[in-house]
Amino acid sequence: MKNVFLFALMLSFLFYGCTNQSQKTEQNQLSEADMQLLETANRYFSLLPEPNDPNTPLTLLGKKLYYEESLSANGQISCNTCHPISTYGVDNLPTSPGHDGSVGTRNSPTTFNAYFHVAQFWDGRSPDLADQAKGPVLNPIEMGLQSATDVEAILKNSPEYSKMFKEAFPDEENPVTFDNFAIAIAEFEGTLATPAAFDAFLEGAVNELDTEQKEGLSLFIETGCIACHIGPGLGGNMMQRFGLVHGPYWDFTGSELKDRGVGDITGKDSDLDIFKSPSLRNIEMTAPYFHDGSIESLEEAIRIMAFTQLGKELNEDQINKMVAFFRSLTGKIPEHAL
């Protein structure tokens, strides 16, 4: 028995030594340029925060609510209508039609990787996903229900929902509430993480990005895009003026509606044209771009942002390299959410 133990111990040391040596060899094989790029990237970006468990009673309830069409005035619209899971949480329309066919004024942003954003909506008026979830269902253009009581009545009329709410909120005597409805949807959206090749790169697997993508990443940093697009989402963590250097923004986007962002809420001149800087995760999949969906092309969006925000004019080669880098931010659609 003692010999067996010693043999197992020797094997474990041998395995650890080989693994450690393999990691050191891989590290030693990195070029100086790759090592410098990796070090720089890790100063500005980070891995996605741990998502929620998709299999809890609360997240399963949230998933069902996300797809629920009865919570709309015409019985045909759900969260998934404007934020389809199968197309990276967006409907790829400039702005989305509501329950009576009326079209909204702002682009429907992706629900993927939104769980760690500093605020929700383009104007940041909601502090978190739970607060945000209460908006569309009562919005007269979007889902069109009249009140929180209407939402609760529909849910209470369903034996299945009554059971699921009880399982999700076991300590509450009357768990079917508007607040809990929003909490459940937010918890489900907290499962919608899409780690990508870029995350593997940040952990040291530099070959997950090809040469063009690495050049695009370098350009992204050197151009100054990191002024607004940093952290795990490469954005989603601050509010910023659109047209910071050159404006107004509509001179460059051709926007028909002059949406003033936060300024329309506060009435302050200092808040005019301020919007949330969007996350660039899955950006190649989420056209059209900007708060009003005014730009269809990712290349054109990059050109506009470089000029309006940084005062820089990028050439075609530089733009193409950034687009290549952005492809490394595209992850897989979470299967559990479909």
Pick from 128, 155, 126, 157: which is nearest to 139 by CA? 126
Sequence ranges of the chain with CATH classification 1.10.760.10:
35-49+195-327, 57-189
Which two structure tokens, joined as six digits, stand for 104?
């909204």
Range of lowest pLDDT (5-9, 36-40, 274-278, 291-295)? 5-9
Does the active-site annotation cover 142? yes
CATH classification for the domain delimited by 57-189, as one of 1.10.760.10, 3.30.310.50, 1.20.1740.10, 3.40.50.1400: 1.10.760.10
Q: What is the pLDDT of residues 182-192, one digit of tens each?
A: 999 999 999 99
Element (H, E) at 310: helix 298-310
| Catalytic residue from among 142, 187, 189, 215 | 142
Which two structure tokens, joined as six digits, stand for 40?
């720089």
Q: What is the pLDDT of residues 202-260, one digit of tens each?
A: 999 999 999 999 999 999 999 999 999 999 999 999 999 999 999 999 999 999 999 99
d(CA 232, CA 110): 15
Pick from 297, 299, 300: which is nearest to 324 by CA? 299
Q: Which CATH architecture has domain 35-49+195-327?
A: Orthogonal Bundle (1.10)
Confidence of residue 29 (pLDDT cuts 50, 70, 90): confident
d(CA 179, CA 20): 50
Alpha helices in 29-95 (DSSP H): 32-44, 57-66, 79-82
Q: What amino acid occupies position 211?
A: T
